[in-house]
Amino acid sequence: MMPLTKVRRASSASEYLPENYAADLPPHDLEAESGVLGCIILGGAEKLDEALELLGGASAFYDLRHQIIYSACAALVNGSKPVDLVLLHAALSASGELESVGGLPYVAALPDRVPSAANLIHYAAVVRDLHRKREMLDALADAARRVRNHAEGEVEPLLDSVEAGIIAANAGPASAEVVPMNQLVLGCISTIELAFLHRNQGLMTGLPTKFRYFDNMTGGLHKKELNIIGARPSTGKTSLLCTLLLNVAVTQGRPCGFLSLEMSREEITLRLLCAQARANMKQVHSGFITKHDQSAMVQAAAQLSVAPIYIDDRSGITPAQIRTSARRMVARHKIELLGIDHLHEVHVPEARGDEKIQATEATTAAKWCAKELNIAVVALAQLSRSFENESAKSRTRIPRMTDLRGSGSMEQKADVIGILYRERLPKGEEQADQDAAHAEVQAVNLEVCKQRNGPTGTCQFTFLRTQMRYQDAHAGPGSQASAVPVIEPPKREPMEGW
């Protein structure tokens, strides 16, 4: 048992504390805190601004006396007064806090403890790091308290809140930087000039998907944006997402995450292998694989085994689990793209069968992942039956955003909405239309119904159904010329006079 010693401590109800009580205190450095205050008194408002940028509020200080002095300095600056010993003494006296901070002798000794106000950044770094450690300890203690007091019920929301609290404590204080307009304008001009000089080289402002028509229309998949792709069942939306992951992870080596709510990770891996090898999946399943496909599968397996694709195939995943899984993928694997298959399979207990609430909560979680984790998110969704019924009556019916199931929240939160569909043949060619629906090679359109920062229109693909793979339609309407209007650039090169 730890030996005890009797000590005097007026603020404690108990007079017995461990001998190593000082070592059990939270991490802190009183000398570094005194150094920060001394630099502020010596340097005035300029040094206080630096301290506010590095430390934030007074809670960064461990010693209550230092918190009071720091707040008094900030109050002087906010009142358009200089920070010096005379005014600081008057402010502390007026508030009745002078004696609680150690009186005038303690305050007056603070500037003498530092050789120069220029050392503020070094002292503040020590104070900031120790403050973050204390916040992490508080977060862990709060997590332990929540776990002990948690009643019966869902555990996943508890895990999500606990993990979010610990990560938020580890992130440190947020620092907002004010950028003058001249820097912003120069940055925009640099972007315009870069795009101008590389206008014929397919410059992407986002993550390239390697689908030429889609990239030309959207500029790629952008960070902080939620892309929703809707389709009726068995249209090939999962195959489109798998092809997209291959184009990003295998071709470009960019880390990708995949939340598969419908299919197991083994099924997804087999689809990825067949798509990468361009092998006939039906023959692979039945065992009648050709020698050519065998060789291609071996090569595809070697490529896929080193591809940075990370799959989470938990079924019935909740919005809280989506955030947790995405957060872990970003922290551990630095993913740049997250695919979700699909939003209508997300389990929302509080929805109780309400489709709109379910869609709202699932979409909110997906949007949170994009915005807070600074990644691009591509989420699949189902269409309502009304689109199928209306398209059966009118074969020229083009999808709309309202065709998404529970479309209200999706329309609002999504940055890009695309709907996959197959054009119906004219009335009177029902048999040919039915044959086209089951053909091994199909022409499929992606109608971009919404793009927050760009045009809308139709992108045409070729769906190789046996290979579970998509590729560009290289001829006919939907070519590059029809996807984006061609604007002739000026003759001068390079750009001058900006």
Q: Identify the CATH number of the domain in which residue 99 sits.
A: 1.10.860.10
Mean pLDDT of 140-164: 75
Please state, rounded to an integer, the average pLDDT across all residues of the chain.
78
Tell which wins on pLDDT, 393 or 173: 393
The winner for highest mean pLDDT among 21-35, 211-225, 342-356, 401-415 is 211-225
224 and 352, same domain (yes or no): yes
Q: How confident is the model at residue 457 (pLDDT cuts 50, 70, 90)?
A: confident
161 and 278, same domain (yes or no): no
pLDDT at 91 over 50: yes
pLDDT at 481 over 70: no
pLDDT value at position 395? 66
In a domain, 498, yes or no: no
Give tens-digit pLDDT for 6-61.
333 333 333 333 444 445 788 888 899 999 998 988 888 778 878 887 887 788 89
pLDDT value at position 150? 75
Q: How confident is the model at residue 375 (pLDDT cuts 50, 70, 90)?
A: very high
pLDDT value at position 9? 34
pLDDT value at position 257? 92
pLDDT value at position 340? 92
149 and 262, same domain (yes or no): no
In what order do the strands lie in the sheet containing 256-260?
309-312, 256-260, 337-341, 376-382, 226-231, 416-421, 441-451, 457-464, 469-472
pLDDT at 335 over 60: yes
Q: How confident is the model at residue 489 (pLDDT cuts 50, 70, 90)?
A: very low
In a domain, 354, yes or no: yes
As a whole number of angstroms, the distance between CA 80 and CA 355 comes to: 56
240 and 157, same domain (yes or no): no
In a domain, 14, yes or no: no
pLDDT at 169 over 50: yes
pLDDT value at position 114? 86
Mean pLDDT of 248-253: 89
Nearest to 377 by CA among 498, 258, 496, 495: 258
As a whole number of angstroms, the distance between CA 427 and CA 271 comes to: 35
pLDDT value at position 1? 35
248 and 122, same domain (yes or no): no
Mean pLDDT of 184-209: 70
Lowest mean pLDDT among 82-86, 153-157, 307-311, 399-403: 153-157
pLDDT value at position 313? 84
pLDDT value at position 398? 78
Look up tokens 């040919």; give the residue. 432
Mean pLDDT of 112-135: 87
Lowest mean pLDDT among 160-169, 312-321, 415-424, 483-492: 483-492
In a domain, 345, yes or no: yes
**Angstrom distances, CA of residue 326 to CA of 225, 228, 317, 340, 362:** 14, 17, 12, 10, 13
Q: How confident is the model at residue 2 (pLDDT cuts 50, 70, 90)?
A: very low
pLDDT at 213 over 70: yes
319 and 358, same domain (yes or no): yes
pLDDT value at position 146? 79
332 and 461, same domain (yes or no): yes
In a domain, 261, yes or no: yes
pLDDT value at position 170? 58
Mean pLDDT of 320-342: 86
As a whole number of angstroms, the distance between CA 260 and CA 306 comes to: 20
For residue 348, give its domain range: 202-483
Q: Contact at 8 Å (CB) between 382 and 345?
A: no
Give tens-digit pLDDT for 194-204.
666 655 555 56
pLDDT at 493 over 50: no
pLDDT value at position 455? 85
The number of folded domains in the chain is 2
The proportion of the chain whose per-residue pLDDT surpasses 90, expressed as a percent, equals: 7
The proportion of the chain whose per-residue pLDDT surpasses 70, expressed as a percent, equals: 79
Look up tokens 């190789």; give the residue. 464
**pTM greater than 0.75 (yes/no):** no
Report the CATH number at residue 396.
3.40.50.300
pLDDT at 378 over 90: yes
Mean pLDDT of 343-367: 83
In a domain, 195, yes or no: no
Nearest to 333 by CA among 379, 375, 365, 378: 375
Q: 18 phi and psi, to 5 degrees?
A: -65, 155
pLDDT value at position 339? 93
Q: How confident is the model at residue 380 (pLDDT cuts 50, 70, 90)?
A: very high
In a domain, 457, yes or no: yes
309 and 353, same domain (yes or no): yes
Give tens-digit pLDDT for 399-442.
788 888 876 778 888 899 988 888 766 565 555 555 555 667 78
163 and 237, same domain (yes or no): no
pLDDT at 386 over 80: no
166 and 206, same domain (yes or no): no
Nearest to 335 by CA among 317, 310, 312: 310
In a domain, 3, yes or no: no
Tell which wins on pLDDT, 454 or 15: 454
140 and 246, same domain (yes or no): no
Task: Provide CB contacts within 8 A for 271, sequence distance 6+.
Answer: 238, 239, 242, 263, 281, 468
286 and 405, same domain (yes or no): yes
pLDDT at 366 over 50: yes
Write down which residue in 155, 171, 187 finishes a domain. Answer: 171
Burial 348-361 (b: 16+ CB within 10 A, else e): beebeeeeeebbbb
